[in-house]
Amino acid sequence: MTLEKTLQEIKSSLKRPQIIEYERYYTHVQQEASQAYNNLHRLSNEIKLLITEKNKLEVQDLEKEVKIGKLTQELIKNRAEALECKKNSNVIPPNYGELYLENEELKRQIKEIDDDHYVFTQQVVDGLELLKEQIDKEKDENIDLRHIIKENCEKKNNEKLDVQKNKVNEIKEELEEVKRNLQRMRSYKNDEEEFEKLNEEESEGPESTPCKCIIS
C-alpha cells in the first residue's frame, strides 16, 4: 500500500504529458519485471530438475560402487582359489568342475570354428585368384578386340575417305566440263557479236570497204 500511495502522489504531482510518459515507463517496467519473473521461475524449475537428476546419478554411482566392491571381493576369492588350484594342479576344486568342462568344450568349438574359417578363407582366396585370372584373360581379350575394332574402323574410314575422294574428283571433272562448255558458249557468243558487228559495218559503209571474214 505504501508503494501504491507513493506512486499516486508522484502521479498527482505530474502534468498531463509527464503522466503519459510516466505511464509508458511504468508499463515498460512492469513488462520487464514480468519477463524477469517468468525467467526466474523457469530457471528455478530447471535447477530443480538438475538437482533431481544429480540425486539419481548419485544413487546410481553408489549402487555401482557397491556392485564393484562385491565383484572385487569375488575376484579376490577366485584368484585365491586359482592359486591354490595351481599349487595342486592335479586337483580341480569342486566349484570349478563344470566350468572346466565348459571351458574345454568351448576350446573344442573354437578350434572347429577356426578350422572352418581357415577352409572358408582358403576357398575365398582360391576363388579370388581364379576370378583374377578370368579378369586378366578378359582384359587381354578386350585389348585384342579393341585392336580389331580399331583396325576395322580405320579400314572403314579409309574406304569412306576413298569414296569421298572419288566423289570429289568426279565433281571436279564435272565442274571442269561445265567450265569448258561455258568458255565455248562465251566464245561462240563473242563470234556471233563480232560477226553481227561486221555485217553492220558492211551494210553501212561504202562499197570500197573491204570485206572482213572470220575463219572459224
**Does 206 have pLDDT greater than 70?**
no
d(CA 75, CA 68): 10
* Position 3 in a domain: yes
Look at 3 and 118; give whichever has higher pLDDT: 118
Question: Cβ distance 79 to 87 under 8 Å?
Answer: no
Look at 83 and 194; give whichever has higher pLDDT: 83
Q: What is the pLDDT of residues 39-90, one digit of tens each?
A: 888 888 888 888 888 888 888 888 888 888 888 888 888 878 777 776 765 5
Q: What is the pLDDT of residues 90-119, one digit of tens each?
A: 555 555 567 777 777 778 888 888 787 788
* Position 75 in a domain: yes
Q: Which three cell numbers stand for residue 70?
A: 562385491
* Position 35 in a domain: yes
* Position 178 in a domain: no
- Number of domains into which the chain is organized: 1
d(CA 130, CA 170): 59
**Helical ranges in the chain per DSSP H:** 2-12, 16-87, 97-204
* Position 19 in a domain: yes
| Domain hosting residue 59, numbered range | 1-91
* Position 11 in a domain: yes
- Cα–chain center distance at 17: 67
pLDDT tier, 18 (very low <50, low <70, confident <90, very high otherwise): low
